[in-house]
């Protein structure tokens, strides 16, 4: 059965309008921290041995690939320098592209991380450190009309010295991690 010109015109016009509608919608997924984890050093006076805020202005982070049989493991190191206000208010957030550059399409879960502080008088000697041995991540894509965004569903940290893993999944806001509080 042959379709009339009007039927074809109506079909193509509808398809073009739907495509134009979805093409003009800007998706703001706000998912930069979807696969991230956060660490906050305990500075509260209620703690038995709190960290001094002045000692937390520079934190060194070393990341290492968990398993790469193709070549020798390479370490990346970055120094995170923060103001005293940032130390008090913001945790250190590590994600796929910050503070390290993304390499070889590896996710944050394919590395181990060591954060350490140094004495300002002896900068080569670490005073305190925390080791994130492994990060387990899971997520899914959710569609809403013309937009499809990634949402984290599982974020678990395996911290050296802790018997049980720390669940950093935030059920209230899956795009933001629950900070792990580092204590001495």
pLDDT tens column, 151-178? 889 999 999 999 999 999 988 888 889 9
C-alpha angle with apex 116: 112 to 117, nearest 5 degrees? 170
pLDDT score of 158:
97
State pTM to two decimals.
Answer: 0.80
Sign (positive or negative) of CA dihedral 109, 178, 113, 57: positive
Could you give the CA distance from residue 44 to residue 47 in angstroms, rounded to a whole number?
6
Low-confidence ranges of the chain (pLDDT < 50): none
pLDDT score of 181:
92
Could you give the CA distance from residue 106 to residue 97 in angstroms, rounded to a whole number?
10
pLDDT score of 19:
59
pLDDT score of 44:
85
Q: pLDDT tens for residues 122-143?
A: 767 778 889 999 999 999 988 8
Using CB atoms within 10 Å of the CB of residue 89, give its burial: 0 to 12 exposed, 13 to 18 middle, 19+ buried.
exposed
Closest to 40 in 3D by CA, of 54, 20, 59? 59
């Amino acid at each position: 059965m042959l379709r009339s010109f009007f039927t074809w015109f109506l079909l193509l016009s509808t398809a073009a309008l739907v495509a134009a509608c979805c093409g003009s919608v800007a998706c703001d997924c706000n998912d930069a921290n979807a696969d991230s984890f956060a660490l906050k050093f305990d500075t509260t006076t209620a703690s038995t041995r709190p960290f001094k805020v002045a000692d937390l202005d520079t934190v060194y982070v070393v990341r290492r690939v968990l398993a790469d049989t193709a070549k020798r493991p390479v370490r990346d190191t970055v120094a995170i320098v923060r103001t005293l206000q940032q130390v008090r208010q913001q945790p250190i957030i590590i994600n796929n592209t910050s503070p390290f550059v993304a390499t070889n399409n590896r996710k944050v879960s394919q590395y181990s991380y060591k954060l350490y502080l140094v004495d300002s008088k002896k900068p080569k000697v670490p005073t305190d450190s925390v080791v994130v041995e492994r990060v387990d991540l899971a997520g899914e894509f959710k569609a809403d009309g013309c937009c499809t965004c990634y949402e984290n569903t599982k974020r678990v940290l395996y911290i050296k010295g802790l018997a049980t893993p720390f669940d950093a999944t935030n059920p209230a806001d899956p795009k933001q991690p629950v900070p792990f509080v580092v204590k001495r």
